[in-house]
């Protein structure tokens, strides 16, 4: 697969110099951080909205990972933005191994605003280099082998693992969805087959099937509701009327 180099992408952007007043800032980023960006497998890209402009660090190829760090330039009323107008937006991510299932789960726990540090340009880029290198890269939402897409899945896994034995994780891509269906599969205390499935978006409704029958739905952010469902299914000391045939 052909991969863009930083020089290729910068050349493309420079052709649009009259259309974009961030070209000089982008050139400075590549001049100071080029080797690190290549090491990380990302390239600097400009993205402008009505309220602000930003430099993002996106994958060099379609299957690559991206940096969770962005440089944000405040609205400058049409003048060329300077580094004094900029700050960093940093996504704080973590990755956990989901037991012995072979899957891992990435989650963004926070988004931080950080000021650009340094008494001169050299020190500022030294700080920016440290931030980019420290946070490294994170995977895209879809298409990474054995990588769970839904950010809340790992939290729910911890709840399931407390109750269920022989827990399995399934991740299937259908013909009409770019995002996978992600499923917990286990047997409840009565020996029935339980599947808890969800799509990738945080806050999506998850479905609970028992022996193929839909018995409950809940939002994947509702840990209290999920715990209640698991207790009814798995706690041998609990005798609910729910989920009877």
- Over the stretch 46-90, which tens digit does the pLDDT of each residue have? 887 777 788 999 998 877 899 999 999 886 666 677 888 899 999
d(CA 228, CA 234): 10
Q: Do the bridges between strand 147-148 and strand 213-219 make them parallel or antiparallel, or are there none, so unpaired? A: unpaired
- pLDDT score, position 103: 93
Q: Are 149 and 106 in contact (CB under 8 A)?
A: no
pTM for the whole structure:
0.76
């Amino acid at each position: 697969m052909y991969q863009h180099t930083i020089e290729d992408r910068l050349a493309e952007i420079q052709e649009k110099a009259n259309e974009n007043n961030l070209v000089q800032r982008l050139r400075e980023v590549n001049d100071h951080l080029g080797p690190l960006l290549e090491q990380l497998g990302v390239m600097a890209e400009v993205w402008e909205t009505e309220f602000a402009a930003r430099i993002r660090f996106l994958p060099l190829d379609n299957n690559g990972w991206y940096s969770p760090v962005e440089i944000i330039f405040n609205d400058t009323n049409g003048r060329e933005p300077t580094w004094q107008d900029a700050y960093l937006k940093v996504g704080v991510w973590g990755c956990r191994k989901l037991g012995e299932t072979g899957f891992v789960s990435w989650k963004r726990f926070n988004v931080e605003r950080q000021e650009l540090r340094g008494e001169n340009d050299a020190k500022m880029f030294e700080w920016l280099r440290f931030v980019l290198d420290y946070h490294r890269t994170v995977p895209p939402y879809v298409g990474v082998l054995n990588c769970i897409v839904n950010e809340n899945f790992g939290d729910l896994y911890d709840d399931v693992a407390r109750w269920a034995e022989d827990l399995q994780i399934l991740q299937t891509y259908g013909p009409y969805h770019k995002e996978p269906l992600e499923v917990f599969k286990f047997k409840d205390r009565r020996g029935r087959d339980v599947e808890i499935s969800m799509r990738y978006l945080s806050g999506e409704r998850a479905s609970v099937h028992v022996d193929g029958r839909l018995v409950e739905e809940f939002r994947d952010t509702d840990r209290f509701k999920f715990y209640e469902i698991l207790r009814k299914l798995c706690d041998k000391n609990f005798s609910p009327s729910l989920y009877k045939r």
